[in-house]
Structures are given as C-alpha cells and as structure tokens.
Amino acid sequence: MKYRRPRITGLCGTCTSPLDSYSIQAVRNCIDARLKEQIGHIPSSAGMGFVKTREVYDGLQETIRLLAEKANVPPIALDILAWDEAHPKKARDKKRK
C-alpha cells in the first residue's frame, strides 16, 4: 500500500496564526501599505496586548497570510520561524531529538 501524505496544507492555510510578541515583532516592518492605517504603528516592544481591536487583529492576520503566500508556506510557518529565530538554542535542541 502506498503511503499518502495528509492534506494538512489546506487546513493550515485557513487557520489563524498566534499573535504573540514573536510573531508580531516578525511582521512589524513588513506591513502591506494598504494595511498600515488599519494596524497602526507597531512598537518594538509590542506583544499580545498590542492587539486591542478586531481591525488590528484582522490586519495582522492578513499581513501574515500575504507573507506566507509570497513564501509559498502555510501562515503558521511564520510563527514557527519567529519562535525559532528568537530561541536558536531551543530550536537546535528540538531538531536533534
């Protein structure tokens, strides 16, 4: 019997990404011009508390989806990359297991 890879890509493409300090910081300088007014200025110390309205939440999610689309990866990949870049030792240790 031939093994078939699960069709998780479609599901991952529709899920929202976690908005923590790592993912918000990762996109703060990559906001599409049409979303800048909706999101506003993202301070360098922004974390989950930065997201106070549905408009900001939706704008950040759209930003992540656009970046993921350009990179041809599911949106959750940005969150994984942001975490791994902020915690290089933990990411290396995880890969060794």
Q: For 63, what's the count of Cα atoms within 13 Å in the CB-facing half-sphere?
A: 28
What does pTM read for this prediction? 0.76
> What was the pLDDT predicted at 88?
77
Residue 3: pLDDT over 50: no
7-50, pLDDT tens digit by residue?
555 555 567 888 999 999 999 999 989 999 999 999 999 999 99
Distance (Å, rounded) from C-alpha 82 to C-alpha 3?
A: 32
Question: Domain limits of the chain?
Answer: 18-96
> What was the pLDDT predicted at 1?
45
52-81, pLDDT tens digit by residue?
999 999 999 999 999 999 999 889 889 988
∠ Cα 61 63 66 (to 5°): 110
Distance (Å, rounded) from C-alpha 84 to C-alpha 22?
A: 9
Which H or E element spans position 1?
none
∠ Cα 2 10 80 (to 5°): 100
